[in-house]
Amino acid sequence: NVDSATMAHPNGTLVNSSGTIFQITPTGRAGIPTLAVFNSWGFDFAKSVPANSADMAKSADANLGYRVGSVINDGGTIWGITSASEKRGFPTASCYTDLGYSWTMAIVGSVSGYAAGTAMCGSGSGSGSGSGTSTGTLSASLASDTPAAGIVIKNTARAPFTKIQLTATGGDVVI
């Protein structure tokens, strides 16, 4: 932490100005526009410090976007963030899991400012035991009959906890 209001915090520091979180950068301070963007970077509110006048005097940089490599659930469609301006869809569930992602990694947020690139996994062919090519987009969402939150005892077998609804739009999808 910086003890003087005349000295800005070091680069990379998260500063809190009246509830708005900024990251100090080499050229100024970058706003963090949404909780989803904040979470994509793995930030922790407990590690933010109060902004001082020197922090707020720094120029306002562009807002941070999602961290490249993040997976975002935008209205049930899962997107991979592949650059500062591009998103790529997953044509199949196996494409998603074969790339090492788990369903719990997806952050709920909007990717409306990102251009859609080519689908992940090339042409969209399934890589599981089935065969075929996807022509649609796979959306995953929490099913309406997912059980309410609760506590499950360790080593419990067959405890219902999450139900996922998979929806294909725009054509067939190979899973």
The pLDDT tens digits of the residues spanning 80-137 come to 999 999 999 998 888 898 888 988 899 999 999 999 999 998 653 332 334 456 677 8
Q: What pLDDT is attached to residue 80? A: 94
Q: Each residue of 86-118: b (16+ CB within 10 Å) or e?
A: bbbbbbbbbbbeeeebeeeebbebebeebeeee
The pLDDT tens digits of the residues spanning 18-50 come to 999 999 999 999 999 999 999 999 999 999 999
- In this prediction, residue 170 has a pLDDT band, given cuts at 50, 70 and 90, of confident
* CA angle, 48 then 87 then 173, to 5°: 130
Q: What pLDDT is attached to residue 133? A: 63
The three state secondary structure string of the chain is CCCCCCCCCCCCCEEEECCEEEEEECCEEEECCCHHHHHHCCCCHHHCEECCHHHHHCCECCCCCCCCCCEEEECCEEEEECCCCEEEECCCHHHHHHCCCCHHHCEECCCCCCEECCCCCCCCECCCCCCCECCCEEEEEECCCCCCCCCCCCCCCCCCCCCEEEEEECCCCCC
The pLDDT tens digits of the residues spanning 51-76 come to 999 999 999 999 999 999 999 999 98
Record the pTM: 0.64
